[in-house]
């Protein structure tokens, strides 16, 4: 499959399925990414709040690259306009409804942003960059960098290359030992496959962005939905485990970065 065909498949996935709502009102996409049990909510809320300090400055334009239907409103409060970019119109229509006059929504490819250099005073790309094939990730990261003003912070929420790598080694080893092929991902709906991910190793970001850019890598969440739904019991014991993990993530964000399922990459031009 060419890079172009992969991108078209991912776009079609989000257009037709990811940003469709179930009867419960939840997006299909959230059911792939999030463990919806009420006991998980404080855990997720703490991870959102840990990014607040990156967006305390104010400015005109906040870039939300790959917002889909879930604009990162919690971080754009200080900015005049919240600019959402995505190639799935279905998601952008949801974002526009949520953001009202504050929202400017643009259908575009993250690898080719239709904005001038230094347009944005801050921004985020949450759970999006890893859906681009590696050569497109290089282009998209350069675009994020190009469109940020100096001293503006841009935050990328990303899947850990270490964890995906270990998972792959583990699966191969298990297959060799037992002959059993465990599933790569649990499918919510047998007709729709989970959109693919490519995780670059953390060192790749500093390498691409160069010495004139400060890069900070921290753990975002140690847990992924597949892990929490299997191993965190729905009980007060589960709540205690989650409180312990929250404390660890908040206290040792850099030290635990290699173990996070999701990592945060924050960069700022010097
Ligand atoms: C998992 S969703 C993330 C949505 C939201 N940021 C969040 O965290 O809930 C990924 C989004 O990235 C968008 N996306 C993926 N590749 C893209 C590309 N090359 N150009 C534009 N949007 C892209 C998809 O359409 C989808 O809306």
Using pLDDT thresholds of 50, 70 and 90, give the confidence band for residue 191.
Answer: low
Closest C-alpha to ligand 1, atom 27: 68
> What pLDDT score was predicted for residue 35?
92
| pLDDT tens sequence across 196-250 | 888 898 889 999 999 999 999 999 999 988 889 989 999 999 999 999 999 999 9
> What pLDDT score was predicted for residue 37?
94
Q: Examine the pLDDT at 187 and tell me if it is beyond 70.
A: no
> What pLDDT score was predicted for residue 127?
95
> What pLDDT score was predicted for residue 190?
46
Q: What span, in angstroms and rounded, lies between the C-alpha atoms of 241 and 247?
A: 10
The CATH number for 144's domain is 3.40.50.150
Q: What span, in angstroms and rounded, lies between the C-alpha atoms of 144 and 112?
A: 10
Mutate to test the pocket of ligand 1, among 128, 140, 155 (most ligand atoms within 8 A of CB): 128
Strand 79-86 versus strand 120-126 pairing type: unpaired
Mutate to test the pocket of ligand 1, among 86, 95, 224 (most ligand atoms within 8 A of CB): 86
Polymer length of the chain: 270
> What pLDDT score was predicted for residue 22?
84
Residues near ligand 1 with C-beta < 6 Å?
Answer: 7, 10, 14, 29, 66-68, 70, 86-88, 91, 109-111, 126-128, 131-132
| pLDDT tens sequence across 125-181 | 999 999 998 999 999 999 999 999 999 999 999 998 676 666 666 667 767 777 766
Q: Kindly state the average pLDDT of the residues 56-60.
A: 90
DSSP letters along 36-63, please?
--GGGHHHHHHHHHTTGGGG-S-EEEEE
Q: What span, in angstroms and rounded, lies between the C-alpha atoms of 65 and 125?
A: 5
Report how many domains make up the chain: 1
Closest C-alpha to ligand 1, atom 8: 126
> What pLDDT score was predicted for residue 60?
96
The owner of tokens 């675009």 is: 143
Say how many CA atoms lie within 13 Å of 138 toward its Cβ. Answer: 6
Domain that holds residue 183: 3-269
**222 neighbors 248 (Cβ within 8 angstroms):** yes
For ligand 1, what atom is nearest to the CA of residue 19?
A: 27
pTM of the model: 0.90
């Amino acid at each position: 499959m060419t890079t172009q065909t992969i991108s078209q498949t991912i776009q079609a996935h989000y257009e037709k399925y990811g940003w469709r709502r179930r009867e419960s009102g939840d997006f299909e996409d959230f059911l792939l990414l999030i463990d919806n049990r009420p006991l998980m909510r404080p855990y997720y809320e703490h991870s959102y709040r840990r990014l607040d300090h990156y967006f305390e400055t104010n400015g005109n334009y906040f870039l939300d690259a790959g917002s889909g239907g879930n604009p990162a409103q919690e971080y754009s409060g200080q900015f005049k306009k919240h600019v959402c970019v995505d190639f799935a119109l279905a998601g952008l229509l949801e974002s526009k409804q949520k953001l009202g006059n504050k929202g400017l929504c643009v259908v575009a490819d993250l690898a080719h942003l239709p904005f001038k250099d230094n347009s944005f005073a801050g921004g985020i790309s949450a759970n999006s960059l890893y859906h681009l094939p590696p050569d497109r990730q290089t282009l998209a990261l350069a675009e994020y960098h190009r469109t940020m003003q100096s001293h503006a912070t841009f935050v990328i929420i990303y899947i850990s290359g270490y964890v995906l790598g270990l998972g792959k080694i583990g699966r191969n080893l298990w297959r060799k030992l037992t002959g059993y092929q465990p599933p790569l991902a649990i499918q919510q709906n047998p007709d729709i496959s989970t959109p693919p991910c490519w995780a670059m190793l953390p060192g790749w970001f500093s390498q691409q962005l160069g010495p004139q850019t400060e890069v900070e890598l921290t753990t975002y969440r140690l847990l992924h939905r597949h892990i929490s739904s299997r191993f965190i019991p729905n009980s007060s014991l589960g709540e205690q485990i989650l409180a312990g993990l929250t404390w660890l993530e908040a206290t040792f964000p850099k030290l635990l970065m290699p173990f996070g399922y999701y990592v945060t990459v924050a960069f700022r031009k010097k």
